[in-house]
Amino acid sequence: MIRLPKFLRKALKTHPQPPSREVEPPLFITGVMRSGTTFLVSKVVSHPQLLKVGDELDKVWNHIGGAQIGAKCVHKTAEDASGQYTYQMSNYFFNFIQESKGLKRHLMRAANKYNKEFGRIFHDWENIIPVNKSPHLINKMEYVLELFPTSKFVYIIRDIRGHSASMKVHFNFYRTKKGKVAILPEDHKDCWSLVDETPETVLGPTSYPPTFGLIPEMWIRLNKIGLETAKRLGPEKVMVVQYEDLIADQEALMKKIFNFIGTHEKHAAETAKIARAKMANINTTTKGNSLEKWKKTLTQEEKNELDQCISTHQKEYDAVLALTQELKVRA
């Protein structure tokens, strides 16, 4: 292998990395926060071929994946990718899989299944597919596919009202427990920034609290860029699922999701069994019917703000709805 001088490697943004260790192309699950990604990944990783890698891997993507996630969630394109990030993330997935074969990880999965009643303990290691669920990849799909060209995405979208109510509870928790408020970024392709609460941030017109209308505005922004990206990439790379459809008919949608992933025929019987098993909706904020509880969670003033936001951004909102109808998989 020819090794370029250091100044040329820096100028050309090349990296003298050896080939990364091979892993099956990862499956990525994304969507705007509070849209059902947790519910979906919990169903998916019940399959013997599908292994959840960590939680959302925010720190991993930040430190070795080149994707800015955390206090700021910055839009990334294929042009931002590099071989170094592919090498580092591939090795991370490979090492996680190897570690997952050990006794410690088996015991951790057993405890998780016992406590949460989902997931699995034993896997088909010869055909294992790593799964990374991260809402923060919604504005980085082309970047991720540049790192992993043969990987796939399942993109989930939720009704703006249910989403906004859930985000309200989520952000209020962050403010109460962690002293953080959410800031709407100037760049329409970036996601929320979380900053320490100060008199300036909490009273600012671009922060929640207090400005509730920013939550549905971000739903419109991120789903617009996410669905436009999904359309460009095509149905072979991105499957779009509507949260409400998944809740209404888990079996039909999960069959199509497993078919999209390409699970092995030898697991056909278990795949069908997992699809049939109706799992209670996993909700990490409040209890109740996830399709209806927004009506009680939101005040009348907040409902008015939401309607005003939709009216203000009617063209973009209609575009999101149209793209959803065009791209989503149907039961």
* pLDDT per position as a tens digit, 26-55: 999 999 999 999 999 999 999 999 999 988
Q: Is 328 helix (H, G, I), strand (E, B) or coil?
A: strand
Mean pLDDT within 103-113: 87
Task: Give the separation between CA 180 and CA 26, rounded to whole angstroms.
Answer: 32
Spacing of C-alpha 55 from chain mean position: 10
Report pTM: 0.90
CATH 3.30.210.10 is the classification of domain 18-327:
no
Instruction: Sort 99 into a burial class: Cβ within 10 Å, 0-12 / 13-18 / 19+.
Output: exposed
pLDDT at 287 over 90: no
Residue recorded with tokens 């671009």: 206
* H or E segment to which residue 195 belongs: strand 193-196
Rg (CA), the chain: 20
* Mean pLDDT score across all residues of the chain: 90
Task: Give the separation between CA 201 and CA 198, rounded to whole angstroms.
Answer: 5
Cis-peptide into 199, omega within 30 deg: no
**Of 204 and 235, the one with more pLDDT:** 235
* Nearest alpha-carbon partner for 203 in 183, 233, 229: 183
**Of 291 and 188, the one with more pLDDT:** 188
DSSP state of 26: P
**What is the predicted pLDDT for the residue at 282?**
61
Each domain of the chain, given as residue ranges in start order, spans 18-327
